C-alpha cells in the first residue's frame, strides 16, 4: 500500500494504491485519523489505483466516516472499477458512503 | 464459452488416458490442482497467500471475475485467523481445484469460538444503520456472498475450519 495526500484547508484528498487488507489497515487508519486530527473535515479518498480491498479496510473507512459525520464532515470515495465496488455493494456500504466514479465528481472540483 | 473451455480441459486429459490404454471403460482423468500453504499467523503474509493462489488460478485459466471473488474469499478467511485466532501461531490453507470448482479450507488451532455466533453473523443482512456501520465482524458475511458454499466448523478450545467452494468460470481466451 502507498498512501499520499494533498491538504487544502479543511479538505484532504487522499490517494491510496496497491492492496489494502488486514496488514495495511492499521497504517491506513492512523493516516486518516491524523488528517482528521489536523483539521480535515472533508476526506476525499481516491481508490482508483487500489487493486484489492478487504472488509478490514471497510472498517477503517467507516471509522473515519463516523468520526467526521459527528462534526458535519464527510468522507467521499472515488471508485472507478466495478470489481472494487463489489465489496461495498455486498455490505450495503455503497449506500453509506458518497461514491464517485472519477475524481472530477468530488467536492474538490 | 466457459463450457467450451471446461470441455477442452477435460477432453485433452481424457483423450490421453483413452489412447494410452485402448480401454473404453477407463474413467476419464480430470486435471486436478492441489496444494497446501502453511503459514505463520502474520497479517503481512495474507497478501502472499492471496497472490500465490491467484497466480495458480490465473495459470490454470480461471476467469478474472471468478479469481477476484476467490482472492476476496481467501483474504477474509485468513483475516479472521489473523484477527481472532489469537492462540494459533500457524495455520494452513488447503486448495483443491478441478475443472468445475475450487475448494479451499483454512484451518487454525487458535482456540475456536461459539459456532452459533458465526451462523448469525453470516446470515445477517446489513439492514440497519448501527449494524451497517460497525467497524468489524464483516468477514464471514463478505465471504458468504462471493462463494457458493461456506461451512464453518469451530470447536471451542480447539480451533476452526473454514471451508468454502466456488464454481469456476474459465477465461475464454484460454491460458496465456
Task: Return the pLDDT at B65.
Answer: 95
Mean pLDDT, range B25-54, rounded to an integer: 89
Q: Give the three-state DSSP class for B121.
A: helix
Nearest Cβ partner of A54 from B76, B127, B133? B76
**Cell numbers linked to A34:** 491524523
- Taking the mean position of all CA atoms in its chain, how far away is CA B86? 22
Among all residues of chain B, which has the CA nearest to that of A19? Answer: B47
pLDDT band at B3 (very low <50, low <70, confident <90, very high): very low
**Cell numbers linked to B149:** 458454499
Angle between the B64-84 and B44-60 helix axes, to the nearest 10 degrees?
160
Task: Return the pLDDT at A63.
Answer: 97
Is A92 in contact with A63 (CB distance < 8 Å)?
no
Query: How many Cβ atoms from other residues are within 10 Å of residue B1's Cβ?
Result: 11
Task: Return the pLDDT at A104.
Answer: 84
Task: Return the pLDDT at B128.
Answer: 67
Query: How many Cβ atoms from other residues are within 10 Å of residue A103's Cβ?
Result: 16
> A92 and B127: CB-CB below 8 Å?
yes
ipTM for the whole predicted complex goes beyond 0.90? yes
Mean pLDDT, range B62-75, rounded to an integer: 97
Cβ of residue B108 closer than 8 Å to a chain A Cβ: no
Q: Where would I find the H helices in B85-171?
A: 115-123, 129-132, 139-146
Global pTM reads: 0.85
- Counting as low any pLDDT under 70, the low residues of chain A are 109
Is A64 in contact with B131 (CB distance < 8 Å)?
no
DSSP state of B99: S
pLDDT in tens, B122-167: 555 555 666 778 888 899 999 999 999 999 998 888 899 999 999 9
Of A88-102, B9-23, B80-94, B152-166, which gets the smallest average pLDDT? B9-23
pLDDT in tens, B109-123: 988 877 666 655 555
Chain A to chain B Cβ contacts (< 8 Å) = 78
Q: Is the pLDDT of residue B86 over 80?
A: yes
**Cell numbers linked to B134:** 460497525
pLDDT band at B174 (very low <50, low <70, confident <90, very high): low
> B142 and A96: CB-CB below 8 Å?
no
> To the nearest whole angstrom, how far is the Cα of B122 from the nearest Cα of chain A?
11
> B142 and A90: CB-CB below 8 Å?
yes
Mean pLDDT, range B12-39, rounded to an integer: 64
Task: Return the pLDDT at B8.
Answer: 47
> B142 and A91: CB-CB below 8 Å?
yes
Among all residues of chain B, which has the CA nearest to that of A87? Answer: B142
> Which residue of A19, A21, A89 to mutate against B (max B Cβ within 10 Å)?
A21
CA A82 to CA A65: how far, in whole Å? 22
pLDDT in tens, B26-38: 556 677 999 999 9
> To the nearest whole angstrom, how far is the Cα of B67 from the nearest Cα of chain A?
11
Amino acid at each position: 500500500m502507498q498512501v499520499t495526500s494533498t491538504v487544502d484547508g479543511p479538505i484532504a484528498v487522499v490517494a491510496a494504491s496497491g492492496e489494502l487488507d488486514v496488514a495495511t489497515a492499521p497504517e491506513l487508519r492512523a493516516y486518516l485519523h491524523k488528517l482528521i486530527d489536523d483539521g480535515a473535515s472533508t476526506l476525499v479518498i481516491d481508490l482508483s489505483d487500489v487493486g484489492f480491498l478487504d472488509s478490514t479496510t471497510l472498517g477503517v473507512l467507516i471509522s473515519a466516516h463516523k468520526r467526521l459525520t459527528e462534526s458535519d464532515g464527510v468522507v467521499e470515495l472515488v471508485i472507478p472499477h466495478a470489481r472494487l465496488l463489489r465489496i461495498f455493494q455486498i455490505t450495503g456500504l455503497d449506500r453509506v458512503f458518497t461514491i464517485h466514479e472519477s475524481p472530477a465528481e468530488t467536492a474538490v472540483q | 464459452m466457459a463450457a467450451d473451455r471446461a470441455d477442452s480441459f477435460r477432453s485433452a486429459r481424457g483423450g490421453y488416458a483413452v489412447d494410452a490404454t485402448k480401454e473404453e471403460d477407463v474413467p476419464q482423468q480430470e486435471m486436478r490442482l492441489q496444494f497446501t500453504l502453511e503459514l505463520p499467523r502474520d497479517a503481512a503474509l495474507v497478501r502472499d497467500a492471496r497472490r500465490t493462489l491467484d497466480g495458480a488460478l490465473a495459470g490454470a485459466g480461471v476467469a478474472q471475475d471468478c479469481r477476484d471473488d476467490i482472492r476476496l474469499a481467501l483474504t477474509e478467511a485468513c483475516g479472521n485467523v489473523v484477527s481472532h485466532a489469537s492462540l494459533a501461531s500457524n495455520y494452513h490453507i488447503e486448495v483443491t481445484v478441478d475443472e468445475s470448482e475450487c475448494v479451499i479450507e483454512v484451518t487454525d488451532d487458535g482456540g475456536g469460538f461459539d459456532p452459533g455466533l458465526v451462523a448469525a453473523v453470516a446470515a445477517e443482512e446489513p439492514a440497519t444503520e448501527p449494524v451497517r456501520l460497525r467497524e468489524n465482524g464483516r468477514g464471514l458475511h463478505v465471504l458468504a456472498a462471493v462463494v457458493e458454499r461456506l461451512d464453518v466448523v469451530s470447536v471451542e478450545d480447539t480451533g476452526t475450519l473454514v471451508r468454502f467452494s466456488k464454481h469456476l468460470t474459465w477465461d475464454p481466451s484460454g491460458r496465456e
